[in-house]
Structure 1
Amino acid sequence: MTEYVVLITGNPDRWWTTMSEEQRRAGYAEYNRFGEELGKRGHRITGGAELHGSSDLKLIPPGGGPATDGPFAETTEQVGGFYQVETDDLDDLVECCQIIAALGDGIQVRRTVTPQERPDAPGGGEPS
């Protein structure tokens, strides 16, 4: 099986600042349905988490330097959560992601780098 990360992007703060309790419950029910559907279709969730909003964000600039609070002013999307999923069927995983994309956030599905693909691994550096 190949491992992918499903990144959920958008405005994670909206879940806590603009949505009613009823809307949040309905949204979480869809995320639960997403997880159940993955299991039914033979995908395996190996990790993941919902992330707190950008008010708790610490930014370290490229190249290093002092950390600052909160997102850059020009940033419109944040990663609000992620799933790690093992699957042999990327197309079906992407189809399942439509469940949570319908809630209004963007979704990125990205393959993780295997240890064998790392240049420091014995015989590594070759994409699988």
Structure 2
Amino acid sequence: MEQEDCYRWCRELKDNQQVIGTIDVVDINSDIECAVFGYCMSKNYWNQGIMTEAFTAVKNFLFERVGFNRIEASHHTENSGSGKVMKKVGMSLEGIKREGAKDNEGNLCDTATYSIFKADWEKEKLYNF
């Protein structure tokens, strides 16, 4: 079934089409034209730039083709690698939400929220031509 406001991709290896991760819009706030990202990837493929590449492509798509004004994402504060991905794609730290989510084991955890606005993305494109 195709849904107009559903944005979900999987990342696969070229040689064998094995899925190694996903990236998707987990929430949309139409009032402020905001898309909230979520992503995960197999630990075997961390620190290789794969998620940064995927996140950049999806960010560009959502600004250029869909027309969002704001993109945001959050991560467990103990997952510094995810924060590095967000910084690499041009996002800025907005703050820490104490006990803002539950981790994979159901425990409350602090989350760091990052965002980027279309105007910032457009400036970034001018300097990276």
Q: Which has the larger radius of gyration?
A: 1
TM-score, length-scaled by structure 2:
0.31
Q: How does the TM-score come out when normalised to structure 1? A: 0.32
